Amino acid sequence: MPEFDSARLDAEFSTYRAAMLPAITPDGPTAVRRTVRRRRRRAAITVAAALVVAVAVPMAGQAGLRRDPGPPATATPTPSDSPTPSISSAPPAPDGRIERTELLAATVDLPTWDDLPERPDGKACGSRGIRLSGDPVGDDANLLVEMGYGDVDRDGATETVVLVRCLFGTRGPAQVVAFDRDTAGRIVTLGRVAATADPTPEWLIGLEVRADGVTRVAMADRAPGPGWPLEQSQRQWRGYRWDGNRFKQTEGPSGFGPNPHAADLSVSSSNLALAREPGDSFAGTIEVRVRNASAGEVAEAVLSFDLPWQLRPVGDGWKRCRENMAVALAPYRCTLGRLAPHADIRLTLGLKRAQGTPLASGKATIELFGSGADGTALLERERDDNLATFTHYYR
């Protein structure tokens, strides 16, 4: 560039600076402070907004997780008129579950035995302030046979149900009893569930308590004993439910029909008074009574006579027998045949002492047997009354 042009440019820039510099005034301290405060406010607002967003987003997510699904968008929500549930202040029912060892160690009351069949030995069983026995081979009264547990009174707590027998090895009596606890924890008697009775049931076999509170009792019409196996007894289950005051039967049969294996026969006889007849013979009659006290039929009843050999049957009274007693030989048997339920038969039977056969006064016996339709012997709980003894003498 020519030196002239350079000089001209320098002159122009000098003139421009001289004209513009007076119009340019730099910011003072006050202006600087205003600028700093404005920038700080913008920064604080920005930070606060960021914090609000950071907190609101997770809270909204959690609320969405907790909230139950609402009604469809088209449904109009209505306020609920359900009453506010009240909290009951009633205490829970006491737990009536009593373990065997605790029950055997406790003193308890039982429903009285007085209204039940007596023990065969005539002894009495206590019912107030007694201790139950756990020895099945002993001779103690009030034997604890079996236990069960369940809510029998429907109060929400468990009760204890036991089978108690007045004396082990006899035909009873026995009863099923429910125990509970009072609020102090003491054992109390709730009530009798079931018991033996006359004529049936003679035997209580066992028990179970169902979940619905029904106590089921297994029982038999005949009790086991000498000459009577339990297998020949009729058995059934009966169910009992607590009605708030006592146990009532709600399930099962109310009685037993005639036992096809059983009979209740008896025989009795008057004495034999022998009077002299023409020649050297003596004769007389006895009145024999045969009874079937059971509700079942006896297919065949038989009388067996244990007589001195000097005495033999005579007369029309023996025509009831199937055998021809005129030609029969000792020992004498008289087959009567069928005995209807509750039959009562009376026979007048003649006996004669033959000539030339001396016979001193003494005793003779008659025994009664029964059999079923299949020919098997019928069992009886008592056979003492199946044997009759009479005295023969001279008048």
Structure-token pair, residue 161: 């149900």
| pLDDT for res 141 | 81
Label the pairing between strands 387-394 and 272-277. Answer: parallel
Q: pLDDT tens, 242-297?
A: 999 999 999 999 999 989 899 999 999 999 999 999 888 999 999 999 999 988 89
Q: Torsion over CA of 142, 216, 184 and 88, rounded to 10 degrees?
A: -170
Output the pLDDT for position 372.
92
CA distance 167 to 133: 10
Q: Give residue 47's pLDDT.
A: 39
Of 151, 168, 304, which Cα lies nearest the Cα of 242? Answer: 151
Cβ proximity of 157 and 77 under 8 Å: no
Please state whether the peptide bond connecting residue 331 to the residue before it is cis, i.e. omega within 30 degrees of 0.
Answer: yes
Confidence (pLDDT) at 278: 85
Query: What pLDDT score was predicted for residue 206?
Result: 97
Which residue, chain included where needed, has tokens 């405060």?
A: 37
* Segments in the chain below pLDDT 50: 1-4, 7, 21, 23-26, 28-29, 31-32, 35-36, 43-82, 85
Exposed e or buried b per residue across 163-191, where buried means at least 16 C-beta atoms within 10 angstroms of its C-beta: bbbbbbebbbbbbbbbbbbeeeeebeebb
Q: Which two tokens stand for residue 82?
A: 């359900």
The whole-angstrom separation of Cα 350 and Cα 342 is 26
Q: Between the CA of residue 98 and those of 94, 105, 119, 160, what are the distances in Å? A: 11, 11, 28, 6
Whether the upstream peptide bond of residue 201 has omega within 30° of 0, thus cis, is yes
pTM of the predicted structure, to 2 decimals = 0.64
CA 296 to chain centroid, in Å, comes to 30
As beta bridge partners, residue 311 has 353
Which residues, listed in sequence order, are joined to residue 333 by a DSSP beta bridge? 304
Phi, psi of 104 (to 5 degrees): -65, -25
